[in-house]
Structure 1
Amino acid sequence: MSKWWPLTAICLGAFMLLVDVNIVTVALPDMATGLKTSYSSLQWVMDIYALVLAALLLGAGALADLVGRRRVYVLGLAMFALSSLACGLAPNVTVLIAARAAQGAGAAMMFATTVALVNASYEGRARTAAFGVWGAVNGAAAGIGPILGGLVTQQFGWRWIFLVNLPVSVAAVALTLRVVAESRSADAPRGRSVRSIDLPGVVLFAAGAGAVTYALTKAGEAGWTSPATLGTFAAGAVALAAFAVVEVRSPHPILDLRLFRSPSFTGLMIASLAMSGAAFAYLLYTSLWLQSVQGLGAIGAGLAILPMSGLAFVSSWLTGRFLHGVSPRWTVGSGMLLIAIGTLGQAVLTAGSGWAAVLPGFAITGVGVGIALPNVTAAAMASVPPERAGMAAGAVSACRQLGYALGIAVLGSVFRAALERSLRHEVPDAAAVAAAITGGHAAQAPEAARAAFAAGLNAATATAAAVALAAAVATLLLVRRPTPSTTPPAALSTTPAQVGTESPVTARTGV
């Protein structure tokens, strides 16, 4: 039994990390009320976490390879715990968002090391069993997140969804230091140092992604052609162009842009970027609709969302068991197509719709996620040379997190624009009513607000469907089955982070 203690320590951190992504979703209405702020402001509570996680993931993996994966994992746990405390005690939304950013940095350190630590801790059959348990824990965390968030919020208040991380973090740190051995990349002894990490690439990617996400978020309020929006877009574009130049010239890039010469890799990156944004980014508005319009409590909203994560988990297991030999062109492509159908199936709401109206769409979307997600990482690794397999896996995870952050920004702007457009013809003070709705007070708003909310949610989910459909087409056109010469012989041993959650659902890779 003692040989499984390292797995326990690693799974504690992974479970906490994954739960904390989607535990927030059903608590946002209570946060809006408690902090006296709008829902549009609170979207950054979700967005900043995913954005920082995406921006720092590749850099954290490179750092862990050099200085030690256990060391970086423990540092990530400590940062995650301290930032969780700051989240739980936040007096206003500004402090909460800043603390969530720090939490995302800690999560990146944890996220970039868990797979490599499991891989280094076990061999042979024990390794296979360990990854099976690790994948099951990830799936369970994704499924239980909305329920746990609803239970904690309803019984103890929203602050405790962050404070419960403290004892788990302390236990994980103590156990990791006691039972998990240190490991490093094979490159570390050959003269590479922390100075060789592509720090300019990390900074430029973070700046570019942050600027673009901010511009997309503000476009819904200031307008797409406002000087502030266009200026921020321009700043983001300049930063991303500089990132591309740096990566081409760096001897140790965090992302080798030559990988995009492979059509399959490009198609899989498009699918990764679209997957989480299309499947999950609208859920914070669905949660608000379920609670403030439909009158469900936090637990009820979590139960309503559960079919998506539950079916994703089941279909993921079935896909890994029965479809592992099918070309990723068809598994990832058909999964994205089902996500498009499922999200479009949710764009059917009217003022009189009940909460059950979204369940069929949730179910189809969950099945699509379960089919696509287990295959996209392994397929990306197989589409590049073996020595770049770890980088490809990290790029997939970073793209999923970035896609989630961008999805929240885009769909939030679409939701707000459609909401105000619908209200403009029904009530005299459309802006004030829109602020009440996005602040979690739709129940006190006029009857027209219910129809307007439905229109906004329909626009957001229809936009998500269009994004998923475009990604499905790109996947079907670009992705091909990898040849034996490019397939990495030991996928799990070459990557620090294969599986991620940039979304409320995480599944096994199927490799």
Structure 2
Amino acid sequence: MPDVRLTSSQGKWILLTTILGSSMAMLDSTVVNVALPRIGEDLGANLADLQWTVNAYMVTLAGLILLGGSLGDRYGRRRIFVTGVVWFAVASLLCGLAPNTGVLIAARALQGVGGALLAPGSLALIQASFHPDDRGRAVGLWSGLGGIGAAVGPFLGGWLVGGPGWRWVFLLNIPLALLCVPIALRHVPESADARSHGRFDVRGAVLGAASLALVTYALIEAQQGSWTVVLSAVAGAAAGVAFVWVEKHHSDPILPPEIFDSRQFTAVNLVTLCVYAAFGGFFFLVALQLQVVAGYSPLQAGSSLLPTTVLMLFFSARSGALAQSIGPRIPLTLGPLLCAAAMLLMLRVGEGADYLTDVLPAVLVMGTGMVTLVAPLTATVLASVDSSRAGLASGVNNAAARVAGLVAVAALPLLTGMGPEAYQSADAFGAAFEQAMLICAGVLVAGSVLALTFVQRLPSDCQRPACRTHCSITTPPLEGVRGRKEIT
């Protein structure tokens, strides 16, 4: 049984290294969007290149994150976590040195692989190392301190882009890794699941990632109308069908189909798809809208969204407690509607928009909506399956959110008619942005209707810290238990 106490020197080092590791991935997800206009200007990129700058990372991360948790269970959580941190840092160096968009996109895909290795391991190390009496407090500190990092991220990203340059958005990860790896090797005990058995579902992981990549390519390049786009769409669909077949017949699949036997679990993941598709599109496009149309600097654009994360940092625990007392249906119905209202308020953000009267109201309503729904969504996911499958359920929900985000980033420019050079024209981008916000609002309303119709009224009995406190604005939290077994 894990016996490290939180008050011990070793406990503090473990907490520090896990926060540093997770902060690398969290910072990357919040600062890159702010840098997109400058990346496009410096590298001569079109809109499709900017979409790939975001989605190349998301494709590999979403496709491999479940496999990353399984690798940690089998080969050692510290080993895979450290490997992920080093991999992420090397890929970040390649991003920072990229001479053109092709190299940058390839390096971003490699970053996603590193993220898939380190993200599950960060919280799993806490669960596997700390004494049960200290585990809840350790997770709470991990979430809260990580939330501070998430809050600082957009501000820091804007300062870096406007000052030293956009390349430092990626190069910043290197000193974090240089600090994180030695601490992990020196102070974090190795742990693995002796009960891990069976063959790895590598085919499933590869097919899942390939399907995402091919479908994303087809969506991003669809305006070309070429045979390559058609073939990519067909191949992506075929890979998706093959993925489902493999998961049904593999002895130890990364995505066991029977987990969806729970109607509650299925319903909440459908809500997740709607909610995080809207969030993914919103945060991708708003960073561009504020700079291209409203004329904000990168620092101003990054700082503009800060209140959203601050609200989540201070109020998500109270939201989780409230949902536990009244049940998940009301928060999961009301939260998306508030976020939809925020999308509509963003329609006021045009050329010369004033922050206090035009931007801040939308940001505050968005933060209130996210506070209302994110913690209850996580709690409902974890409470809808047997506790022995909490890690798997959390991983599936996290992957669903990432898939929804990458599809939104790929599809929204197509649906709104954004051309390759749209982000270089304030009028063209502003018109498309308005359509995109209406689409995102509609998707959120659909999520609200799903929650009202299918989410059960039974209150959640989830007592895990991840159910109560969460501060990331891009994905649900990952539960520290991986695979299908509890860490003991």
Describe how 1:39-78 pairs up with structure 2 within 5 A.
Answer: 39-78=47-86
String of CA shifts for 1:293-319, please: whole Å, max 9, x gaps: 322211111111222222233331321
Alignment match, 2:224? 222
Alignment match, 2:392? 391
- Measure, in 1, the Cα distance between the counterparts of 2:326 and 2:142: 24
Alignment match, 1:465? 441
SS at match of 1:23: helix
- Measure, in 2, the Cα distance between the counterparts of 1:297 and 1:482: 47
* Offset of residue 228 of structure 1: 4.0
- Measure, in 1, the Cα distance between the counterparts of 2:341 and 2:293: 25
* Offset of residue 122 of structure 1: 1.3
- Measure, in 1, the Cα distance between the counterparts of 2:146 and 2:452: 28
- Measure, in 1, the Cα distance between the counterparts of 2:64 and 2:459: 31
| Equivalent pair of 1:15/1:141 in contact (CA under 8 Å) | yes
- Measure, in 1, the Cα distance between the counterparts of 2:71 and 2:457: 32
- Measure, in 2, the Cα distance between the counterparts of 1:45 and 1:19: 15
Alignment match, 2:27? 19
SS at match of 1:182: coil
- Measure, in 2, the Cα distance between the counterparts of 1:29 and 1:492: 37
SS at match of 1:176: helix
| Equivalent pair of 2:216/2:407 in contact (CA under 8 Å) | yes
Alignment match, 1:8? 16
Moved more, 465-474 or 375-384: 375-384
Moved more, 345-354 or 282-291: 345-354
Alignment match, 2:253? 253
String of CA shifts for 1:401-430, please: whole Å, max 9, x gaps: 111111111122234x0x56xxxxxxxxxx
| Equivalent pair of 2:313/2:471 in contact (CA under 8 Å) | no
| Equivalent pair of 1:271/1:336 in contact (CA under 8 Å) | no
Alignment match, 2:316? 316
| Equivalent pair of 1:270/1:474 in contact (CA under 8 Å) | yes
Which amino acid counterpart does residue 347 of structure 1 have in structure 2?
A: L
Alignment match, 1:94? 102
* Offset of residue 210 of structure 1: 1.5
- Measure, in 1, the Cα distance between the counterparts of 2:95 and 2:216: 22
SS at match of 1:347: helix
- Measure, in 2, the Cα distance between the counterparts of 1:379 and 1:56: 24
Q: 2:169 aligns with which of 161, 168, 172?
A: 161
| Equivalent pair of 2:277/2:407 in contact (CA under 8 Å) | yes
1:403 aligns with 2:379: no
Report how many aligned residue pairs link the two structures.
471
- Measure, in 2, the Cα distance between the counterparts of 1:12 and 1:347: 37
* Offset of residue 149 of structure 1: 0.2
- Measure, in 2, the Cα distance between the counterparts of 1:375 and 1:36: 43
Runs (4+) off by over 6 Å: 505-509
- Measure, in 2, the Cα distance between the counterparts of 1:268 and 1:304: 30
Describe how 1:174-185 pairs up with structure 2 within 5 A.
Answer: 174-185=182-193
| Equivalent pair of 1:28/1:284 in contact (CA under 8 Å) | no
1:144 aligns with 2:152: yes
Alignment match, 1:232? 232
| Equivalent pair of 2:398/2:475 in contact (CA under 8 Å) | no
Change (3 A) 1:84 1:34: same
* Offset of residue 43 of structure 1: 1.6
Change (3 A) 1:116 1:324: same
Which amino acid counterpart does residue 307 of structure 1 have in structure 2?
A: P
- Measure, in 1, the Cα distance between the counterparts of 2:107 and 2:63: 16
Change (3 A) 1:465 1:182: same
Which amino acid counterpart does residue 135 of structure 1 have in structure 2?
A: S
Q: 2:455 aligns with which of 446, 459, 479?
A: 479
- Measure, in 2, the Cα distance between the counterparts of 1:299 and 1:483: 42
- Measure, in 2, the Cα distance between the counterparts of 1:294 and 1:348: 10
* 5+ residue gaps, structure 1: 421-433, 443-448
Q: What is the TM-score normalised by the length of structure 2?
A: 0.90
Moved more, 123-132 or 2-11: 123-132
- Measure, in 2, the Cα distance between the counterparts of 1:237 and 1:69: 34
Q: 1:212 aligns with which of 205, 210, 215?
A: 215
- Measure, in 2, the Cα distance between the counterparts of 1:398 and 1:457: 26
Alignment match, 2:326? 326
| Equivalent pair of 1:317/1:508 in contact (CA under 8 Å) | no
- Measure, in 2, the Cα distance between the counterparts of 1:272 and 1:135: 20
1:31 aligns with 2:39: yes
SS at match of 2:346: coil
Alignment match, 2:4? none
- Measure, in 2, the Cα distance between the counterparts of 1:28 and 1:123: 43
Change (3 A) 1:483 1:320: closer
| Equivalent pair of 2:323/2:459 in contact (CA under 8 Å) | no
- Measure, in 2, the Cα distance between the counterparts of 1:317 and 1:381: 16
* Offset of residue 115 of structure 1: 1.5
- Measure, in 2, the Cα distance between the counterparts of 1:212 and 1:357: 36
SS at match of 2:287: helix
* Offset of residue 39 of structure 1: 3.2
SS at match of 1:296: coil
Which amino acid counterpart does residue 27 of structure 1 have in structure 2?
A: A
1:414 aligns with 2:415: yes
- Measure, in 2, the Cα distance between the counterparts of 1:351 and 1:140: 31
Change (3 A) 1:350 1:42: closer
* Offset of residue 11 of structure 1: 0.7
Which amino acid counterpart does residue 376 of structure 1 have in structure 2?
A: L
| Equivalent pair of 1:119/1:492 in contact (CA under 8 Å) | no
Change (3 A) 1:25 1:91: same
- Measure, in 2, the Cα distance between the counterparts of 1:291 and 1:505: 24
Describe how 1:422-433 pairs up with structure 2 within 5 A.
Answer: none
